[in-house]
Structure 1
Amino acid sequence: MTKEQFDDLLSRVGPRIAKRNTRMRAAIEPGERLCICLRYLVTGDCYKTIAFSFRVGVTTVSNIIGEVCQAIWDCLVEEFMPVPTKQDWSAIAEGFLQRWNFPNCLGSIDGKHVVIQAPPRSGSKYRNYKNAFSIVLLAVVDAEYLFRMVDVGAYGRNSDGGTLNNCPFGEDLKDGKLDLPGDCVITGAEHLGKLPHVFVGDEAFPLRRNLLRPFPGTHLSRERRVFNYRLSRARLTVECAFGILASRWRMYRRSITLSPEKAELCVKATCILHNFIRVTGRHTGARPVVMEEGEDELVLHDLTQLGTNNAARAAIRVRETFAGYFSAEGAVPWQGDV
Protein backbone atom coordinates (compact mmCIF):
# COMPACT_ATOMS: atom_id res chain seq x y z
CA MET A 1 0.00 0.00 0.00
CA THR A 2 1.47 3.34 -1.04
CA LYS A 3 1.33 6.56 0.97
CA GLU A 4 -1.28 7.93 -1.41
CA GLN A 5 -3.46 4.87 -0.91
CA PHE A 6 -3.07 5.07 2.86
CA ASP A 7 -4.10 8.74 2.84
CA ASP A 8 -7.07 7.88 0.62
CA LEU A 9 -8.12 5.08 2.97
CA LEU A 10 -7.71 7.32 6.02
CA SER A 11 -9.89 10.01 4.44
CA ARG A 12 -12.63 7.42 3.96
CA VAL A 13 -12.58 5.71 7.35
CA GLY A 14 -11.06 8.48 9.51
CA PRO A 15 -14.34 10.17 10.52
CA ARG A 16 -15.80 6.78 11.42
CA ILE A 17 -12.96 5.73 13.75
CA ALA A 18 -12.17 9.13 15.33
CA LYS A 19 -12.61 9.46 19.10
CA ARG A 20 -13.09 12.53 21.29
CA ASN A 21 -10.56 13.75 23.80
CA THR A 22 -11.53 13.56 27.46
CA ARG A 23 -10.36 15.27 30.63
CA MET A 24 -8.31 12.22 31.51
CA ARG A 25 -6.44 11.66 28.26
CA ALA A 26 -6.10 12.60 24.61
CA ALA A 27 -7.71 10.22 22.16
CA ILE A 28 -5.59 8.15 19.80
CA GLU A 29 -5.55 9.80 16.38
CA PRO A 30 -7.43 8.09 13.51
CA GLY A 31 -4.20 7.65 11.55
CA GLU A 32 -2.57 5.76 14.40
CA ARG A 33 -5.68 3.65 14.95
CA LEU A 34 -5.64 2.70 11.27
CA CYS A 35 -1.91 1.88 11.48
CA ILE A 36 -2.50 -0.43 14.44
CA CYS A 37 -5.20 -2.30 12.57
CA LEU A 38 -3.18 -2.60 9.36
CA ARG A 39 -0.13 -3.72 11.36
CA TYR A 40 -2.11 -6.67 12.68
CA LEU A 41 -3.58 -7.60 9.29
CA VAL A 42 -0.19 -7.37 7.56
CA THR A 43 1.85 -9.26 10.18
CA GLY A 44 -0.54 -11.30 12.30
CA ASP A 45 1.55 -10.39 15.36
CA CYS A 46 0.11 -10.92 18.82
CA TYR A 47 -1.57 -8.04 20.61
CA LYS A 48 1.30 -7.67 23.09
CA THR A 49 3.84 -7.10 20.32
CA ILE A 50 1.69 -4.49 18.62
CA ALA A 51 0.86 -2.81 21.94
CA PHE A 52 4.58 -2.56 22.78
CA SER A 53 5.36 -1.11 19.32
CA PHE A 54 2.71 1.62 19.57
CA ARG A 55 2.96 2.10 23.36
CA VAL A 56 -0.71 1.44 24.01
CA GLY A 57 -2.56 -1.11 26.09
CA VAL A 58 -3.29 -4.66 24.94
CA THR A 59 -7.02 -4.13 25.46
CA THR A 60 -6.79 -0.91 23.44
CA VAL A 61 -5.24 -2.84 20.53
CA SER A 62 -8.00 -5.44 20.73
CA ASN A 63 -10.75 -2.82 20.64
CA ILE A 64 -9.10 -0.85 17.83
CA ILE A 65 -8.72 -3.87 15.55
CA GLY A 66 -12.39 -4.82 15.83
CA GLU A 67 -13.69 -1.28 15.40
CA VAL A 68 -11.41 -0.34 12.49
CA CYS A 69 -12.02 -3.58 10.58
CA GLN A 70 -15.75 -3.01 10.83
CA ALA A 71 -15.31 0.61 9.70
CA ILE A 72 -13.16 -0.42 6.72
CA TRP A 73 -15.81 -2.86 5.57
CA ASP A 74 -18.72 -0.45 6.05
CA CYS A 75 -16.98 2.49 4.35
CA LEU A 76 -15.60 0.62 1.33
CA VAL A 77 -18.05 -2.16 0.52
CA GLU A 78 -20.54 -0.04 -1.42
CA GLU A 79 -17.84 1.25 -3.79
CA PHE A 80 -15.38 -1.62 -4.04
CA MET A 81 -17.63 -4.68 -3.67
CA PRO A 82 -21.16 -3.63 -4.67
CA VAL A 83 -23.87 -6.12 -5.50
CA PRO A 84 -23.37 -6.75 -9.25
CA THR A 85 -26.11 -5.65 -11.59
CA LYS A 86 -26.98 -7.36 -14.86
CA GLN A 87 -24.61 -4.97 -16.68
CA ASP A 88 -21.84 -5.81 -14.20
CA TRP A 89 -22.33 -9.55 -14.75
CA SER A 90 -22.17 -9.01 -18.51
CA ALA A 91 -18.90 -7.09 -18.14
CA ILE A 92 -17.46 -9.89 -16.00
CA ALA A 93 -18.45 -12.45 -18.65
CA GLU A 94 -16.73 -10.36 -21.33
CA GLY A 95 -13.59 -10.25 -19.19
CA PHE A 96 -13.46 -14.03 -18.87
CA LEU A 97 -13.96 -14.41 -22.61
CA GLN A 98 -11.20 -11.97 -23.53
CA ARG A 99 -8.65 -12.98 -20.91
CA TRP A 100 -9.40 -16.64 -20.17
CA ASN A 101 -11.21 -17.79 -23.34
CA PHE A 102 -14.24 -18.99 -21.39
CA PRO A 103 -17.56 -17.61 -22.72
CA ASN A 104 -20.58 -16.88 -20.54
CA CYS A 105 -18.52 -17.17 -17.34
CA LEU A 106 -19.66 -14.95 -14.46
CA GLY A 107 -16.95 -15.80 -11.96
CA SER A 108 -14.77 -18.41 -10.33
CA ILE A 109 -15.98 -19.71 -6.98
CA ASP A 110 -14.05 -21.48 -4.23
CA GLY A 111 -13.67 -21.69 -0.46
CA LYS A 112 -10.62 -20.98 1.70
CA HIS A 113 -10.18 -22.29 5.24
CA VAL A 114 -8.90 -19.56 7.55
CA VAL A 115 -7.19 -21.25 10.51
CA ILE A 116 -8.23 -19.97 13.92
CA GLN A 117 -7.61 -20.94 17.52
CA ALA A 118 -10.16 -23.49 18.72
CA PRO A 119 -13.06 -21.55 20.29
CA PRO A 120 -13.98 -22.70 23.80
CA ARG A 121 -16.80 -25.26 24.06
CA SER A 122 -17.21 -25.38 20.27
CA GLY A 123 -16.88 -29.14 19.94
CA SER A 124 -16.07 -30.23 16.39
CA LYS A 125 -17.98 -27.48 14.56
CA TYR A 126 -14.83 -25.63 13.50
CA ARG A 127 -12.62 -28.71 12.90
CA ASN A 128 -11.96 -29.14 9.20
CA TYR A 129 -10.82 -32.10 7.14
CA LYS A 130 -7.16 -31.26 7.87
CA ASN A 131 -7.79 -31.58 11.64
CA ALA A 132 -7.35 -27.83 12.12
CA PHE A 133 -9.91 -25.35 13.38
CA SER A 134 -11.09 -22.83 10.81
CA ILE A 135 -13.79 -20.60 9.42
CA VAL A 136 -14.58 -20.66 5.71
CA LEU A 137 -14.11 -17.78 3.29
CA LEU A 138 -16.31 -18.47 0.26
CA ALA A 139 -15.60 -16.09 -2.62
CA VAL A 140 -16.58 -15.36 -6.21
CA VAL A 141 -13.73 -13.76 -8.18
CA ASP A 142 -13.84 -12.08 -11.59
CA ALA A 143 -11.28 -12.20 -14.42
CA GLU A 144 -9.25 -9.36 -12.84
CA TYR A 145 -8.80 -11.14 -9.47
CA LEU A 146 -11.36 -8.90 -7.74
CA PHE A 147 -13.69 -10.32 -5.11
CA ARG A 148 -17.27 -9.85 -6.29
CA MET A 149 -18.89 -11.74 -3.42
CA VAL A 150 -17.60 -13.06 -0.12
CA ASP A 151 -19.28 -15.06 2.61
CA VAL A 152 -17.24 -15.44 5.81
CA GLY A 153 -17.83 -17.34 9.02
CA ALA A 154 -19.13 -20.78 8.06
CA TYR A 155 -17.97 -23.63 10.28
CA GLY A 156 -14.75 -25.28 9.14
CA ARG A 157 -16.35 -28.72 9.16
CA ASN A 158 -18.65 -27.70 6.26
CA SER A 159 -17.71 -28.56 2.70
CA ASP A 160 -17.51 -25.87 0.03
CA GLY A 161 -20.73 -27.15 -1.52
CA GLY A 162 -22.48 -27.13 1.84
CA THR A 163 -21.23 -23.61 2.57
CA LEU A 164 -22.56 -22.44 -0.80
CA ASN A 165 -25.98 -23.99 -0.19
CA ASN A 166 -26.31 -22.34 3.22
CA CYS A 167 -25.07 -18.81 2.38
CA PRO A 168 -27.31 -16.02 1.01
CA PHE A 169 -25.46 -16.00 -2.32
CA GLY A 170 -26.05 -19.71 -2.79
CA GLU A 171 -29.73 -19.39 -1.95
CA ASP A 172 -30.17 -16.49 -4.39
CA LEU A 173 -28.27 -18.41 -7.07
CA LYS A 174 -30.50 -21.42 -6.61
CA ASP A 175 -33.69 -19.34 -6.57
CA GLY A 176 -32.69 -17.17 -9.56
CA LYS A 177 -32.57 -13.88 -7.64
CA LEU A 178 -29.11 -12.65 -8.73
CA ASP A 179 -30.26 -10.68 -11.78
CA LEU A 180 -27.98 -12.69 -14.07
CA PRO A 181 -27.92 -12.12 -17.83
CA GLY A 182 -30.21 -14.35 -19.84
CA ASP A 183 -29.13 -17.25 -22.03
CA CYS A 184 -27.30 -16.14 -25.15
CA VAL A 185 -25.66 -17.55 -28.26
CA ILE A 186 -21.87 -17.84 -28.32
CA THR A 187 -20.36 -16.03 -31.29
CA GLY A 188 -19.14 -18.55 -33.83
CA ALA A 189 -21.17 -21.39 -32.35
CA GLU A 190 -24.70 -20.33 -33.20
CA HIS A 191 -25.69 -23.91 -33.97
CA LEU A 192 -25.35 -24.80 -30.27
CA GLY A 193 -28.27 -22.54 -29.44
CA LYS A 194 -28.51 -20.33 -26.40
CA LEU A 195 -26.31 -21.26 -23.44
CA PRO A 196 -26.71 -20.04 -19.84
CA HIS A 197 -24.23 -17.88 -17.99
CA VAL A 198 -22.34 -19.96 -15.46
CA PHE A 199 -19.99 -19.89 -12.50
CA VAL A 200 -17.05 -22.29 -12.45
CA GLY A 201 -15.89 -24.29 -9.44
CA ASP A 202 -13.97 -27.41 -8.52
CA GLU A 203 -15.28 -30.89 -7.77
CA ALA A 204 -16.37 -29.86 -4.26
CA PHE A 205 -19.35 -27.99 -5.72
CA PRO A 206 -22.53 -29.50 -7.17
CA LEU A 207 -23.22 -29.47 -10.88
CA ARG A 208 -26.04 -27.11 -11.78
CA ARG A 209 -27.25 -25.38 -14.89
CA ASN A 210 -25.49 -22.18 -13.79
CA LEU A 211 -22.57 -23.80 -11.92
CA LEU A 212 -20.06 -25.98 -13.75
CA ARG A 213 -17.65 -28.45 -12.18
CA PRO A 214 -15.08 -30.76 -13.83
CA PHE A 215 -15.88 -34.20 -15.17
CA PRO A 216 -14.95 -36.75 -12.48
CA GLY A 217 -12.70 -39.74 -12.97
CA THR A 218 -9.31 -40.45 -14.51
CA HIS A 219 -10.03 -42.32 -17.76
CA LEU A 220 -11.73 -39.52 -19.67
CA SER A 221 -12.23 -38.89 -23.36
CA ARG A 222 -10.14 -36.17 -24.95
CA GLU A 223 -13.16 -33.87 -25.18
CA ARG A 224 -13.76 -34.14 -21.43
CA ARG A 225 -10.07 -33.67 -20.62
CA VAL A 226 -10.05 -30.49 -22.70
CA PHE A 227 -13.13 -29.25 -20.84
CA ASN A 228 -11.48 -29.91 -17.47
CA TYR A 229 -8.40 -28.01 -18.63
CA ARG A 230 -10.37 -25.02 -19.85
CA LEU A 231 -12.48 -24.94 -16.70
CA SER A 232 -9.44 -25.20 -14.42
CA ARG A 233 -7.77 -22.43 -16.42
CA ALA A 234 -10.69 -20.08 -15.77
CA ARG A 235 -10.93 -21.24 -12.15
CA LEU A 236 -7.33 -20.17 -11.50
CA THR A 237 -8.55 -16.61 -10.91
CA VAL A 238 -9.96 -17.46 -7.50
CA GLU A 239 -6.85 -19.48 -6.57
CA CYS A 240 -4.63 -16.55 -7.58
CA ALA A 241 -6.82 -14.13 -5.62
CA PHE A 242 -6.47 -16.26 -2.49
CA GLY A 243 -2.70 -16.41 -3.07
CA ILE A 244 -2.44 -12.64 -3.38
CA LEU A 245 -4.58 -12.25 -0.27
CA ALA A 246 -2.37 -14.55 1.84
CA SER A 247 0.83 -12.99 0.48
CA ARG A 248 -0.22 -9.42 1.22
CA TRP A 249 -1.98 -9.99 4.56
CA ARG A 250 0.32 -12.25 6.55
CA MET A 251 -2.23 -12.95 9.27
CA TYR A 252 -3.37 -15.81 7.00
CA ARG A 253 0.04 -17.49 7.47
CA ARG A 254 -0.66 -17.99 11.18
CA SER A 255 -3.41 -19.33 13.35
CA ILE A 256 -5.67 -16.38 14.15
CA THR A 257 -5.98 -16.25 17.94
CA LEU A 258 -9.23 -14.29 17.96
CA SER A 259 -12.85 -15.16 18.51
CA PRO A 260 -14.64 -16.38 15.36
CA GLU A 261 -16.66 -13.16 15.25
CA LYS A 262 -13.58 -10.90 15.32
CA ALA A 263 -11.70 -13.17 12.90
CA GLU A 264 -14.64 -12.78 10.51
CA LEU A 265 -14.30 -8.98 10.71
CA CYS A 266 -10.58 -9.20 9.92
CA VAL A 267 -11.14 -11.49 6.92
CA LYS A 268 -13.83 -9.21 5.49
CA ALA A 269 -11.55 -6.19 5.96
CA THR A 270 -8.68 -7.86 4.05
CA CYS A 271 -11.00 -8.83 1.20
CA ILE A 272 -12.32 -5.32 0.71
CA LEU A 273 -8.81 -3.87 1.09
CA HIS A 274 -7.64 -6.30 -1.59
CA ASN A 275 -10.17 -4.78 -3.99
CA PHE A 276 -9.34 -1.25 -2.85
CA ILE A 277 -5.63 -1.69 -3.56
CA ARG A 278 -6.17 -3.29 -6.97
CA VAL A 279 -8.78 -0.76 -8.11
CA THR A 280 -6.73 2.26 -7.10
CA GLY A 281 -4.02 0.80 -9.33
CA ARG A 282 -0.86 1.99 -7.63
CA HIS A 283 0.25 -1.18 -5.91
CA THR A 284 3.69 -2.41 -7.00
CA GLY A 285 4.08 -5.53 -4.83
CA ALA A 286 3.37 -9.17 -5.65
CA ARG A 287 1.85 -9.82 -9.06
CA PRO A 288 -0.81 -12.48 -9.66
CA VAL A 289 0.00 -15.57 -11.68
CA VAL A 290 -1.13 -15.15 -15.30
CA MET A 291 -1.06 -18.18 -17.58
CA GLU A 292 0.31 -17.57 -21.03
CA GLU A 293 -0.21 -19.63 -24.12
CA GLY A 294 1.49 -23.00 -23.92
CA GLU A 295 1.80 -23.08 -20.12
CA ASP A 296 0.31 -26.40 -19.07
CA GLU A 297 2.01 -26.85 -15.71
CA LEU A 298 -1.11 -25.80 -13.80
CA VAL A 299 -3.48 -28.02 -15.70
CA LEU A 300 -5.52 -30.52 -13.69
CA HIS A 301 -5.28 -33.53 -15.97
CA ASP A 302 -6.76 -36.12 -13.66
CA LEU A 303 -9.53 -34.92 -11.37
CA THR A 304 -10.95 -37.49 -9.00
CA GLN A 305 -14.49 -37.54 -7.70
CA LEU A 306 -14.67 -36.56 -4.05
CA GLY A 307 -18.35 -37.19 -3.48
CA THR A 308 -21.64 -38.00 -5.06
CA ASN A 309 -23.31 -35.01 -6.70
CA ASN A 310 -26.50 -35.94 -8.48
CA ALA A 311 -27.06 -33.42 -11.25
CA ALA A 312 -30.19 -32.65 -13.19
CA ARG A 313 -30.30 -33.57 -16.85
CA ALA A 314 -30.33 -29.91 -17.89
CA ALA A 315 -27.07 -29.29 -16.00
CA ILE A 316 -25.43 -32.36 -17.55
CA ARG A 317 -26.51 -31.21 -20.99
CA VAL A 318 -25.05 -27.72 -20.45
CA ARG A 319 -21.69 -29.18 -19.40
CA GLU A 320 -21.63 -31.53 -22.38
CA THR A 321 -22.40 -28.62 -24.72
CA PHE A 322 -19.54 -26.56 -23.31
CA ALA A 323 -17.25 -29.58 -23.62
CA GLY A 324 -18.14 -29.94 -27.28
CA TYR A 325 -17.61 -26.22 -27.89
CA PHE A 326 -14.11 -26.22 -26.34
CA SER A 327 -13.04 -29.08 -28.62
CA ALA A 328 -14.47 -27.50 -31.77
CA GLU A 329 -15.30 -23.83 -32.39
CA GLY A 330 -13.84 -22.68 -29.06
CA ALA A 331 -10.55 -24.59 -29.26
CA VAL A 332 -7.32 -22.70 -28.49
CA PRO A 333 -3.93 -23.60 -29.99
CA TRP A 334 -2.17 -24.48 -26.73
CA GLN A 335 -4.67 -27.13 -25.61
CA GLY A 336 -3.27 -29.66 -28.12
CA ASP A 337 -1.14 -31.46 -25.51
CA VAL A 338 -3.91 -31.94 -22.97
Structure 2
Amino acid sequence: MNHNYKGFFSIVLLAWVDADYKFMWIDVGGLGSQSDAQIYNQLELKECLEDGSIGLPPPSPLPNDDQDFPYFLLGDDAFGLRAYLMKPCSGRTLTREELIANYRISRARRVVENAFGILAHRWRVLLSTMQQMPLTVQVIIESCVCLHNFIRIRNPAIQNIQLDNEDGAHNHVPGLWRQDDNLQDVDMPKEGNRDTVAATRQRDYLKYYFNSPVGLVPWHDRMVGV
Protein backbone atom coordinates (compact mmCIF):
# COMPACT_ATOMS: atom_id res chain seq x y z
CA MET A 1 0.00 0.00 0.00
CA ASN A 2 2.97 2.33 0.44
CA HIS A 3 4.30 1.61 -3.07
CA ASN A 4 3.92 4.87 -5.00
CA TYR A 5 3.51 5.67 -8.70
CA LYS A 6 7.25 6.33 -9.04
CA GLY A 7 8.04 2.73 -8.11
CA PHE A 8 9.36 3.02 -4.56
CA PHE A 9 7.91 3.01 -1.04
CA SER A 10 6.86 6.22 0.68
CA ILE A 11 4.47 7.86 3.09
CA VAL A 12 2.86 11.23 2.37
CA LEU A 13 3.31 14.55 4.17
CA LEU A 14 0.29 16.74 3.40
CA ALA A 15 0.71 20.25 4.78
CA TRP A 16 -0.82 23.70 5.11
CA VAL A 17 1.86 26.42 4.98
CA ASP A 18 1.58 30.08 5.95
CA ALA A 19 3.13 33.11 4.23
CA ASP A 20 6.22 32.90 6.47
CA TYR A 21 7.13 29.37 5.31
CA LYS A 22 5.93 27.78 8.57
CA PHE A 23 3.84 24.62 8.66
CA MET A 24 0.47 25.45 10.23
CA TRP A 25 -1.07 21.99 9.89
CA ILE A 26 0.28 18.63 8.74
CA ASP A 27 -0.91 15.09 8.15
CA VAL A 28 1.85 12.48 8.08
CA GLY A 29 1.41 8.83 7.22
CA GLY A 30 -0.77 8.81 4.11
CA LEU A 31 -0.12 5.72 2.01
CA GLY A 32 2.28 6.20 -0.87
CA SER A 33 -0.22 4.56 -3.23
CA GLN A 34 -2.78 7.30 -2.51
CA SER A 35 -3.01 10.66 -4.23
CA ASP A 36 -3.11 13.97 -2.35
CA ALA A 37 -6.84 14.28 -3.06
CA GLN A 38 -7.60 10.80 -1.71
CA ILE A 39 -5.77 11.58 1.51
CA TYR A 40 -7.31 15.05 1.83
CA ASN A 41 -10.85 13.73 1.32
CA GLN A 42 -10.43 11.48 4.38
CA LEU A 43 -9.16 14.19 6.71
CA GLU A 44 -10.91 16.13 9.45
CA LEU A 45 -9.37 19.26 7.92
CA LYS A 46 -11.68 18.98 4.93
CA GLU A 47 -14.74 18.60 7.16
CA CYS A 48 -13.73 21.64 9.22
CA LEU A 49 -13.20 23.75 6.10
CA GLU A 50 -16.55 22.70 4.64
CA ASP A 51 -18.62 23.32 7.78
CA GLY A 52 -16.73 26.49 8.73
CA SER A 53 -15.62 25.21 12.13
CA ILE A 54 -11.92 25.69 11.38
CA GLY A 55 -12.18 29.37 12.33
CA LEU A 56 -11.04 31.28 9.26
CA PRO A 57 -11.32 35.07 9.68
CA PRO A 58 -14.54 36.70 8.43
CA PRO A 59 -14.51 37.99 4.81
CA SER A 60 -12.73 41.30 4.26
CA PRO A 61 -11.78 43.37 1.18
CA LEU A 62 -8.71 42.55 -0.86
CA PRO A 63 -5.99 45.27 -0.81
CA ASN A 64 -7.27 48.54 -2.30
CA ASP A 65 -10.71 46.98 -2.91
CA ASP A 66 -14.07 47.66 -1.25
CA GLN A 67 -15.87 44.31 -1.60
CA ASP A 68 -15.66 41.65 1.13
CA PHE A 69 -13.91 38.48 -0.05
CA PRO A 70 -13.64 35.17 1.83
CA TYR A 71 -10.31 33.99 3.19
CA PHE A 72 -9.07 30.93 1.31
CA LEU A 73 -6.28 28.41 0.87
CA LEU A 74 -4.29 27.96 -2.34
CA GLY A 75 -3.88 24.52 -3.85
CA ASP A 76 -3.11 22.78 -7.13
CA ASP A 77 -5.11 20.57 -9.50
CA ALA A 78 -5.09 17.73 -6.98
CA PHE A 79 -7.86 19.52 -5.09
CA GLY A 80 -11.36 20.66 -6.00
CA LEU A 81 -12.09 24.35 -6.47
CA ARG A 82 -14.06 25.63 -3.49
CA ALA A 83 -14.85 29.00 -1.94
CA TYR A 84 -12.26 28.22 0.73
CA LEU A 85 -9.72 26.71 -1.72
CA MET A 86 -8.60 28.45 -4.91
CA LYS A 87 -6.42 26.94 -7.64
CA PRO A 88 -5.18 28.04 -11.10
CA CYS A 89 -7.45 28.03 -14.15
CA SER A 90 -6.96 24.92 -16.29
CA GLY A 91 -7.08 24.45 -20.04
CA ARG A 92 -4.84 24.74 -23.09
CA THR A 93 -6.15 28.03 -24.48
CA LEU A 94 -6.26 30.53 -21.62
CA THR A 95 -7.07 34.21 -22.03
CA ARG A 96 -4.61 36.94 -21.13
CA GLU A 97 -6.59 37.63 -17.94
CA GLU A 98 -6.53 33.94 -16.97
CA LEU A 99 -2.77 33.75 -17.57
CA ILE A 100 -2.21 36.73 -15.29
CA ALA A 101 -4.50 35.24 -12.62
CA ASN A 102 -2.65 31.90 -12.85
CA TYR A 103 0.68 33.67 -12.49
CA ARG A 104 -0.50 35.47 -9.36
CA ILE A 105 -1.86 32.27 -7.81
CA SER A 106 1.31 30.35 -8.72
CA ARG A 107 3.42 33.20 -7.34
CA ALA A 108 1.75 32.75 -3.95
CA ARG A 109 1.95 28.94 -4.09
CA ARG A 110 5.71 29.27 -4.55
CA VAL A 111 5.83 29.87 -0.79
CA VAL A 112 4.66 26.28 -0.25
CA GLU A 113 7.31 24.91 -2.60
CA ASN A 114 9.97 26.87 -0.71
CA ALA A 115 8.78 25.58 2.66
CA PHE A 116 9.04 21.97 1.50
CA GLY A 117 12.36 22.67 -0.21
CA ILE A 118 13.92 24.24 2.89
CA LEU A 119 12.59 21.41 5.06
CA ALA A 120 14.17 18.70 2.91
CA HIS A 121 17.35 20.69 2.22
CA ARG A 122 18.10 21.13 5.93
CA TRP A 123 16.98 17.73 7.19
CA ARG A 124 18.70 15.49 4.68
CA VAL A 125 17.20 12.32 6.13
CA LEU A 126 14.05 13.25 4.19
CA LEU A 127 15.97 12.78 0.94
CA SER A 128 17.28 9.32 1.75
CA THR A 129 15.78 5.86 2.04
CA MET A 130 14.89 5.51 5.72
CA GLN A 131 15.52 2.15 7.33
CA GLN A 132 12.93 2.60 10.11
CA MET A 133 9.39 1.24 10.37
CA PRO A 134 6.61 3.51 9.02
CA LEU A 135 5.49 4.67 12.49
CA THR A 136 9.04 5.72 13.34
CA VAL A 137 9.35 7.50 9.99
CA GLN A 138 6.23 9.51 10.86
CA VAL A 139 7.82 10.63 14.13
CA ILE A 140 11.00 11.64 12.27
CA ILE A 141 9.04 13.73 9.76
CA GLU A 142 6.96 15.39 12.49
CA SER A 143 10.18 16.21 14.38
CA CYS A 144 11.73 17.76 11.27
CA VAL A 145 8.64 19.94 10.77
CA CYS A 146 8.72 21.11 14.41
CA LEU A 147 12.42 21.96 14.15
CA HIS A 148 11.79 23.78 10.87
CA ASN A 149 9.10 25.94 12.51
CA PHE A 150 11.35 26.56 15.51
CA ILE A 151 14.09 27.94 13.27
CA ARG A 152 11.60 30.06 11.30
CA ILE A 153 10.43 31.65 14.55
CA ARG A 154 13.78 32.04 16.33
CA ASN A 155 16.18 32.80 13.47
CA PRO A 156 14.53 32.98 10.02
CA ALA A 157 17.60 34.67 8.49
CA ILE A 158 19.39 31.30 8.55
CA GLN A 159 16.96 29.95 5.96
CA ASN A 160 16.08 33.10 4.02
CA ILE A 161 19.12 32.79 1.75
CA GLN A 162 17.64 29.52 0.47
CA LEU A 163 14.32 31.12 -0.53
CA ASP A 164 13.11 32.13 -3.98
CA ASN A 165 13.04 35.88 -4.52
CA GLU A 166 12.50 38.47 -7.24
CA ASP A 167 14.88 41.03 -8.71
CA GLY A 168 14.02 44.68 -9.32
CA ALA A 169 12.14 43.78 -12.51
CA HIS A 170 10.07 41.10 -10.70
CA ASN A 171 11.94 38.25 -12.40
CA HIS A 172 11.93 35.00 -10.45
CA VAL A 173 15.31 34.21 -8.87
CA PRO A 174 15.42 30.52 -7.75
CA GLY A 175 16.45 29.84 -4.16
CA LEU A 176 19.48 27.78 -3.24
CA TRP A 177 17.38 24.75 -2.30
CA ARG A 178 16.29 24.41 -5.96
CA GLN A 179 19.93 23.85 -6.95
CA ASP A 180 19.98 20.57 -5.02
CA ASP A 181 19.89 17.70 -7.54
CA ASN A 182 18.20 15.46 -4.96
CA LEU A 183 15.20 17.79 -4.88
CA GLN A 184 14.56 18.03 -8.61
CA ASP A 185 12.17 15.06 -8.78
CA VAL A 186 9.92 16.10 -5.90
CA ASP A 187 6.36 16.57 -7.14
CA MET A 188 2.80 15.61 -6.28
CA PRO A 189 0.36 13.20 -7.93
CA LYS A 190 -2.71 14.81 -9.39
CA GLU A 191 -6.33 13.84 -9.18
CA GLY A 192 -9.23 15.87 -10.58
CA ASN A 193 -12.23 17.10 -8.60
CA ARG A 194 -15.42 18.81 -9.64
CA ASP A 195 -15.42 22.58 -9.17
CA THR A 196 -18.36 24.31 -7.54
CA VAL A 197 -20.23 27.13 -9.28
CA ALA A 198 -19.77 29.52 -6.34
CA ALA A 199 -16.04 28.82 -6.20
CA THR A 200 -15.74 29.40 -9.95
CA ARG A 201 -17.41 32.80 -9.56
CA GLN A 202 -15.07 33.59 -6.69
CA ARG A 203 -12.00 32.72 -8.78
CA ASP A 204 -13.40 34.85 -11.61
CA TYR A 205 -13.53 37.78 -9.19
CA LEU A 206 -9.89 37.14 -8.32
CA LYS A 207 -9.09 37.12 -12.02
CA TYR A 208 -10.78 40.50 -12.54
CA TYR A 209 -9.10 41.87 -9.42
CA PHE A 210 -5.62 40.76 -10.52
CA ASN A 211 -6.22 42.46 -13.88
CA SER A 212 -7.61 45.69 -12.40
CA PRO A 213 -5.57 48.84 -11.61
CA VAL A 214 -5.86 48.19 -7.85
CA GLY A 215 -4.79 44.54 -8.00
CA LEU A 216 -2.08 44.39 -10.63
CA VAL A 217 1.63 43.83 -10.05
CA PRO A 218 4.09 45.96 -12.08
CA TRP A 219 5.60 44.13 -15.06
CA HIS A 220 3.14 41.23 -14.80
CA ASP A 221 2.23 41.48 -18.50
CA ARG A 222 5.81 40.79 -19.48
CA MET A 223 6.20 38.05 -16.90
CA VAL A 224 3.34 35.94 -18.24
CA GLY A 225 4.54 36.40 -21.79
CA VAL A 226 1.57 38.31 -23.18
Q: TM tier, shorter chain?
A: 0.7 to 0.9
1:149 aligns with 2:33: no
**Alpha-carbon distance, 1:175 to partner:** 2.1
Match of 1:317 in 2: 201
Match of 1:252 in 2: 126
Structure with larger RCO (C-alpha < 8 A, sep 6+): 2
> 2:161 aligned to 271, 274, 287, which one?
287
**Alpha-carbon distance, 1:271 to partner:** 0.1
How far apart are the structure 1 equivalents of 2:129 and 2:10?
A: 9
Number of residue pairs the alignment of both structures matches: 205
Match of 1:92 in 2: none
Aligned ranges 1:1-338 → 2 under 5 Å: 125-190=1-66, 193-281=67-155, 284=158, 287-292=161-166, 293-296=169-172, 307-328=191-212, 329-337=214-222, 338=224
- The root-mean-square deviation of aligned C-alpha atoms, in Å, is 1.8
TM-score by length of 2: 0.84
Change (3 A) 1:290 1:163: same
Given residue 41 of structure 2, which amino acid in structure 1 is its aligned partner?
Answer: N
The structure that is helix-richer by fraction is 1
**Alpha-carbon distance, 1:324 to partner:** 0.7
Q: Report if aligned partners of 1:244, 1:286 keep a CA contact under 8 Å in 2.
A: no
**Alpha-carbon distance, 1:218 to partner:** 2.1
Change (3 A) 1:257 1:136: same
User: What SS is found at the alignment partner of 1:205?
Assistant: coil
How far apart are the structure 2 equivalents of 1:155 and 1:141?
A: 21
**Alpha-carbon distance, 1:168 to partner:** 2.2
How far apart are the structure 1 equivalents of 2:156 and 2:220?
A: 34
User: What SS is found at the alignment partner of 1:217?
Assistant: coil
Change (3 A) 1:150 1:307: closer
Percent of matched pairs sharing the same residue: 39
How far apart are the structure 2 equivalents of 1:149 and 1:288?
A: 22
User: What SS is found at the alignment partner of 1:127?
Assistant: coil
How far apart are the structure 1 equivalents of 2:50 and 2:159?
A: 38
How far apart are the structure 1 equivalents of 2:45 and 2:101?
A: 26
Gaps of at least 5 residues in structure 2 are: 175-189
Q: Report if aligned partners of 1:241, 1:288 keep a CA contact under 8 Å in 2.
A: no
Gaps of at least 5 residues in structure 1 are: 1-124, 299-305
Q: Report if aligned partners of 1:135, 1:153 keep a CA contact under 8 Å in 2.
A: yes
Given residue 31 of structure 2, which amino acid in structure 1 is its aligned partner?
Answer: Y
Bigger mean CA deviation after superposition, 250-259 or 164-173: 164-173
User: What SS is found at the alignment partner of 2:219?
Assistant: helix
Given residue 313 of structure 1, which amino acid in structure 2 is its aligned partner?
Answer: V
